[in-house]
Amino acid sequence: MKKKITNQSNKNRFFILILVISMLSLTVQSQNCTVLNGPTDYNLNYSSTNAVSVTNVNQSEPVPGVGTVIVKNYTFTIPFFETNFTSTAFLFSNSVGIPQCGVVNSPQNSVASFCPSTIEVYNSFNSGTLIASNQNMAQISLGAITQAVGIKLYRVVGKCNGNIYRTTYYRIIVQKEPIPTFDLAISAQCQLNSSGQTTGWFDFRANGTMPTIPNLYLRTSLPSGSTCSNSDIPVNIFSNTSTISNFAFFSCNTIGTYTVKMIYKRPKVGGGLYNTEVPSGYGWSNFTWTKGFNTCPPQFPYEPERKFSDSDVNNEIRDVIVSPNPSGGIFKLTGEFNNNQMISIEVFDLMSKQVFNHTINKSELDEIEFDLSSLQPGAYILLINQGEKSVTKTIVKE
């Protein structure tokens, strides 16, 4: 009986010895676990940011408690009207792919076993808080980020079974473009022909000071149905000096309301393009102007090259009355018309397009009547010609 107890004790000692040896072996393996697939580094990757420029400068500097290290400084510049830097994807990736960690036998230089790899990100160059961790992966993502103007620090650590094999230090700097200084005023001006008559067209003109930054454009929104060109116009072409003087940048002749806006255009870092209306408060506010029928009205007939003589004074048909005006469609004419002479009646819309044409002999009727019921409601120009004489009137179709 005593001998059996002794044998059982020996067995227990043997098992304990095997366990201790195994634990020591695992500890040695853990201590010897290292990266196998060559030198590694961590690169910063980003996409879909709202920054308009980025610079990257590496510099050597001392870090308390760590020593002298290489710090990768990234400076992101955002537009003057933005509040924060944003990125939909912000991640650090291993330059050689997924790290392979293992224990190497010496002197055979063969891999005895493999062990796990880990990437960790901290918010400080020394100690700090762990903000992200990933195992057996080639990269680690911080997801979508938002950073106010200022500085953030990141420490990216690569580990093999807890043993650090690489540390990369990042300083992310966010700054704004300088707020532009300019004072721009917009006004409307009627276009005149060579005889000093309004043509129905107008210009928008700019006066003031040039912006101190590029990438600013003026965009004019048009009334419904207008076919005028409204391409965005870069402000930096308005002048070769700091002063903008009566620069015409837009023309149209359509009746309705126009709004001139300041637009910011610039490529974004990581893809995309700014095409954004600049908010008020930077020396600019949107300009709104309405062209009515009596604003820069077209004069008919349009004869820019005609030279007038004294005899032209009597070339207008006298005492012409159009009634009712406005009308739902039927208009009547009276005036000092010559008998037995053809009268031409033409109607034009405000885009100078002829929409009605009729010829009648005055001797046939004492009162001339014409029907515009088929026309859209709005204002029109009536041109009446008889022989060498003519007259224009404004009429409104209800």
pTM for the whole structure? 0.67
Q: Is the pLDDT assigned to residue 309 strictly greater than 50? A: no
Which tens digit of pLDDT belongs to each residue from 2-11?
445 455 555 4
Which tens digit of pLDDT belongs to each residue from 230-252?
889 998 888 888 888 889 999 99
Can you tell me the mean pLDDT for 173-184? 89
Q: 262: closest CA among 201, 314, 217?
A: 217
Q: Is the pLDDT assigned to residue 23 strictly greater than 70? A: no
Q: Is the pLDDT assigned to residue 217 strictly greater than 70? A: yes
DSSP string, 223-249: PTT-------EEGGGS-SSSEEEEEEE
State residue 396 phi and psi, 5-degree precision: -125, 125
pLDDT at 24: 34
Q: Is the pLDDT assigned to residue 26 strictly greater than 90? A: no
8 Å CB contact between 137 and 39: no
Which tens digit of pLDDT belongs to each residue from 29-88?
445 788 887 667 899 999 999 999 999 999 999 998 899 999 999 999 999 999 999 999
pLDDT at 109: 63
Q: What is the chain's mean pLDDT, rounded?
A: 82
pLDDT interval class at 289 (50, 70, 90) = very high
pLDDT at 307: 34
Q: 220: closest CA among 257, 189, 190?
A: 257
d(CA 390, CA 215): 51
User: Cα angle vertex 356, ends 297, 366, to 5°?
Assistant: 100
